[in-house]
Amino acid sequence: MNTFIPASDEILFERRGAVALVTLNRPQALNSFTLSMHRALQQVLAEVERDASVRALVLTGAGRGFCAGLDLSVLDFSPGPDRLQRISPGPVLDEGFNPTAKALMNLRVPTVAAVNGVAAGAGVSLALTCDLAIAAPTASFVQAFSKIGLIPDAGGSWLTVERLGLARAMGMAMLGDKLGADQAKAWGLIWDVADDPLAAALALAERLAAMPTRALVATRHLLRGALQRSFEAQLDAERELQTALGRTHDYAEGVTAFLEKRTPQFRGQ
């Protein structure tokens, strides 16, 4: 049974068994963010962090877009002596996008983005902050910051290099051209393309929810940080995490089930 949990008009939160479905719900503005939207999403992510019965999360957008980044209309561009201070995106990053990105990146469960339409600006970052992303064939990804005199933010300058390598990330960020879903998959920006990305993402999340949660999140930690560590440091990190996971129920259950030739019953513990 689906369970709807009150969040806000701008963020919809639904439980589908062990999977949390979070929907950005400002379709009239391509789900571009306001600060109140960030606060509501951060509240939902905090609830998922606390609720041990949630084992995976899907993030999607309502309507024809996934997320168009910041709603620029929230900034005050009217003439005046303090105009440059009022139009600065810095406070929005400090209070909104950066805490949201950190909460999503460090969530204790695996995350899947269902990119149902255009992801632009920080909307690209939001999709890439998730562990896996599945896009509709008509979806697109565009880092358009250079067209308004800014740089990729909300982690975009890190995430695109991580996924694409420097040359392609540089072209995407500097030129601001749209990247279609098929090309995004071919380049490694996203995991897959599906006619119904939400259904595909939910199916993937259900699969992840039945797996050993702590091992999946530890895998995220290792892989996301691999290029920032030396080989020796990565070996040390693997040893530490493997030692910790070796004390978990899911490790004992996984090996026992393998030896007994049965399906393991993981608890995420």
| Residues 20-52 pLDDT 10s | 999 999 999 999 989 899 999 999 999 999 999
Structure confidence at residue 179 as a pLDDT band (50, 70, 90): very high
Q: What is the pLDDT of residue 227?
A: 85
Mean pLDDT of the chain: 91
Residue 266 CB partners (closer than 8 Å, separation 6+) = 210, 211, 212, 213, 250, 253, 254
> Residues 140-162: what's their mean pLDDT?
91
The total of other beta-carbon atoms located within 10 Å of residue 104's CB is 23
% pLDDT > 70, the chain: 96
pTM for this entry: 0.90
Find, among 102, 100, 126, the residue nearest to 113 by Cα.
126
**For position 93, what pLDDT does the model report?**
80
Question: Using 50, 70 and 90 to split pLDDT, how confident is the model at 7?
Answer: low
Statement: residue 1 has pLDDT above 80: no
Cβ atoms within 10 Å of 227's Cβ, excluding its own: 9
- Report which of 51, 206, 33, 200 is spatially closest to residue 122, judged by C-alpha positions: 33
Q: Does the pLDDT value for residue 90 go beyond 90?
A: no
Write phi, then psi, for 52 (nearest 5 degrees). -65, -15
Q: What is the pLDDT of residues 47-76, one digit of tens each?
A: 999 999 999 999 999 999 999 988 877 766
- Closest by CA to 143, choosing from 168, 114, 165, 106, is 168
Residue 3, pLDDT score: 56
Q: Which of 144, 49, 138, 139 is nearest to 102 (CA)?
A: 49
Tell me which of 7 and 213 has the higher pLDDT.
213
